[in-house]
Amino acid sequence: MPKSRLGRGLSQLISSNALSQSRAVIEVTPDRLQPNPFQPRRSYDVTTLNELAESIREQGILQPLLVRPAGDNYQIILGERRWRAAQGADLETIPCIVQEVNDHQALEMALIENLHREDLNAVEKARAYQQLVDDFAFTHEELAQHIGKSRSAITNTLRLLHLPEEVLASLVEGNISEGHGRALLSLEGDSDLLLDVWRTVESEELSVRASEELVREALGRDKPTAEAHRRVPDTPPLDPHLTALSEHLQETLATEVKLRPKKSGAGMILIRYSDSEELQRIVEHIAPGDYL
C-alpha cells in the first residue's frame, strides 16, 4: 500500500470534513493569501522555486493549498512553497481548501508537513522537533510516532541544537554535514575546544570519519592541531554483527553508543549522555532503581 503523502500524524490533524470535501475547492487570488507565521522553514531555494514555477505554469497547481480564514483574506496552513512558486508563474488564482483551525493546530500541521520534505536541513528539522516538544509537550517517543522516524533519530537530531550558533550556521550553509555536527557534539563540554576543532574541520574540508578521529585526539589534548587528523590512523570498520549491535543499543537507549573492540576479544561500550537528566534516564533504562 503506498504511503500517504500526508505522513504519519498529519492526516489525523486535518479534519475528515476537510478531506471528504476535497472537491470543494475555492479559487483565491495570490494577494489574498498570507504566509503562515508558524512556518518552520526559514529559506527557500531560488532554483527549485523557479523549477516549481515552470511546472505550475505548464500544468497548474495539482494539489490545492490548505488555508484558514484571516479576516477578509486567508492564511496558508500547508502549501506556502506552492504559493510562492505560483506567484512566479503569474497565476491569477490559486486553488485552496478552507479549514477552521486554531494557532496550535496550524503550527503542528505546518511543522509535521515540512518535516516530511526531503530538502529540510538538519537544523531546521531539529528546531521544528524542539518546537513540537516545547509547544505540545511531546515526548521523543510520541514525536517519533507522529513523524514516522525512530526515537533515536529524533533524539540525535535534537542534540544538534547543543552546538554553538557558529557551528549551526555552518551546518545550515552546507559547509559541514549532520555527521560532522554529531562528531563535534562529543566536545560540547568545552565550547572553545569544540570551536577550534570545527574551524579545522571546515577549513581542511575533512570527511566525517577524519573529523571523528580529530575529535578523539582533541579530547586528549588542550588544543587540536590542523595536522591531527593526518597523524591518526584509520580505525578498522566494526564487524557487521557489532555494527548491528551498536545500532540496536542506540535505538534502545535513544543516545549515541560506540563499541570499541580489541583484538583480544575485550573492549568497551561507550554510552554518551548530554546532562544529568539524560544520564538518569539511561540508568533507569539499564538498571531501574534510585541511584542519582
Residue 181 belongs to what H/E stretch? helix 178-184
Catalytic status, residue 80:
yes
Nearest Cα residue to 50 out of 80, 88, 21, 10:
88
Rounded to whole angstroms, the Cα distance separating 171 from 115 reads 17
Residue of 80, 113, 124, 256 with catalytic role? 80
Of how many residues is the chain composed?
A: 292
Rounded to whole angstroms, the Cα distance separating 157 from 254 reads 11
Contact 159, 182 (CB under 8 A): yes
Residue 207, SS3? coil
Record the cell numbers describing residue 73, joined without a space. Answer: 483574506
Nearest Cα residue to 78 out of 42, 59, 106, 45:
106
Rounded to whole angstroms, the Cα distance separating 113 from 41 reads 11
| Look-up of cell digits 509535521 | 112
Sequence-distant (6+) residues with CB within 8 A of 145 are 8, 9
Query: Which residues participate in catalysis according to the annotation?
Result: 80
